[in-house]
Amino acid sequence: MGKTTLAQEVGELQPSIYLDLESDADRAKLAEPELYLNLHEDKLVILDEVHRLPGLFQILRGLIDRGRRKGLRTGRFLLLGSASIDLLAQSGESLAGRISYLEMRPFDALEIPDDIEHLWIRGGFPDSYLASSDRSSLRWRQDFIRTYLERDIPMMGPRIPAETLRRFWTMLAHHQSGLMNASEFGRSLGVTSQTVANYLDLLVDLLLVRRLAPWHNNGSKRLVKSPRIYVRDSGLVHALLGLADREAVLGHPVAGASWEGFVVESLLGAAPEATEAYFYRTAAGAEIDLLLRFADGRLWVFEIKRSLSPKVERGFHTACEDLQPDRKILIYPGSEPFPLGDGIEAMPLPLALQSIKQEART
């Protein structure tokens, strides 16, 4: 769901007013923010691109506290904006105890279960997925990447050359699902490993890249300690690599890793709050693509294959012997679930997501 769509749907539920803070006209209305917002205290005020006015948080705090004394406790402000360390820190400090955060995710396989392939190729951003052609979809994603690099990120504070950050982002796409090696990336970019770590932190905080932690609770095994890195939206992976359509993606070496990242992101989106996510890999070769440990301690493990006749390697069996998970699932791009033996269930992605949602309700 896009931000505008969310604002429209929320606005239909109660009287509301929408301000786009990228609009000069709407920003002008907040020249005296307390006066303007007090006029609309009986409405939900939707503030889009709120990072444009970071000083607004302190003012909102006072308005919220005064409103509480009048009995106006919730549902007064909906703040929409890009993720940023400084923005989140400032909102947390100014509005502690007065704000709840919701990550707005792109379309996923639960919302579009009958068009998984198309969703994987184009990614989940609505304008990309719904574009009239593959060419239009790719152009939208390329423009998104350029705008983020040349306008949005500099506006948030970091002074990083756009071309350097693009090269790094593209390298991550080539390295999709791989282990993070800051020294190797640093040599390629001509910067220090600490600088690479800072670049990665930025992309993670902007919700563009996921850093999946290694499992660390097995003291008897030599476990890999580096995180695994994913560009979170598969459509951006393909755009960064210049892959315009399904045929181009399937012909590229990144296809399997891209599918893995798409599935991982879908599974994590379906997981309930307080779920911990890891991958498992030992020096001896035992490996599991994704582990989910739910709040009650139950452990599910997932193997991800881009094949209609998937097989499980010995390393997965060995890892399961180490971990003794409560459920073992192999996700493949077919349409029917079937048993693989040794308690392993092969199933399509939408069914796996439904299983996680059901787990969240029990």
Does the structure show a pLDDT above 80 at 220?
A: no
The percentage of residues in the chain with a pLDDT greater than 90, rounded to a whole number, is: 65
Q: What is the pLDDT of residue 8?
A: 53
Mean pLDDT of all residues belonging to the chain: 89
- Of the given ranges (156-160, 202-206, 210-214, 256-260), which has the lowest mean pLDDT? 156-160
| CA–CA dist 189, 170 (Å, integer) | 12
User: Which residue is listed with tokens 């402000």?
Assistant: 77
Cα dihedral 37, 41, 42, 47 sign: positive
In this structure, the answer to whether residues 129 and 83 fall within a common structural domain is no
Residue 104 falls inside a structural domain: no
Domain closes at, from 47, 64, 94: 94
Residue 339 falls inside a structural domain: yes
Q: What is the pLDDT of residue 199?
A: 93
Does the structure show a pLDDT above 70 at 93?
A: no
Which pTM value belongs to this model?
Answer: 0.86
- Can you tell me whether residue 78 is helix, strand or coil? strand
In this structure, the answer to whether residues 141 and 261 fall within a common structural domain is yes
For the segment 119-126, the average pLDDT, to the nearest whole number, is 96
Q: What is the pLDDT of residue 361?
A: 74
In this structure, the answer to whether residues 83 and 134 fall within a common structural domain is no
| CA–CA dist 225, 213 (Å, integer) | 8
Does the structure show a pLDDT above 80 at 5?
A: no
Question: Cα 130 to chain center, whole Å?
Answer: 19
In this structure, the answer to whether residues 76 and 171 fall within a common structural domain is no
In this structure, the answer to whether residues 217 and 331 fall within a common structural domain is yes
For the segment 94-107, the average pLDDT, to the nearest whole number, is 77
Convert the pLDDT of each residue in 276-330 to its tens digit: 999 999 988 899 999 999 999 999 999 999 999 999 999 999 999 999 999 999 9
Does the structure show a pLDDT above 90 at 246?
A: yes
In this structure, the answer to whether residues 249 and 324 fall within a common structural domain is yes
In this structure, the answer to whether residues 138 and 90 fall within a common structural domain is no
Number of compact structural domains in the chain? 2
Residue 74 falls inside a structural domain: yes
Q: What is the pLDDT of residue 12?
A: 56
Convert the pLDDT of each residue in 150-180 to its tens digit: 887 777 666 788 899 999 999 999 999 999 9
What's the number of CA atoms in the CB half-sphere (13 Å) around residue 354?
9
Q: Domain range spanning residue 355?
A: 116-361
**Angle value at C-alpha 235, between 251 and 347, nearest 5 degrees:** 75
Q: What is the pLDDT of residue 1?
A: 43
For the segment 140-155, the average pLDDT, to the nearest whole number, is 88
In this structure, the answer to whether residues 23 and 135 fall within a common structural domain is no
Q: What is the pLDDT of residue 92?
A: 58
- Can you tell me whether residue 154 is helix, strand or coil? helix
Does the structure show a pLDDT above 60 at 4?
A: no
The answer to whether residues 264 and 279 touch, using CB atoms and an 8 Å cutoff, is no
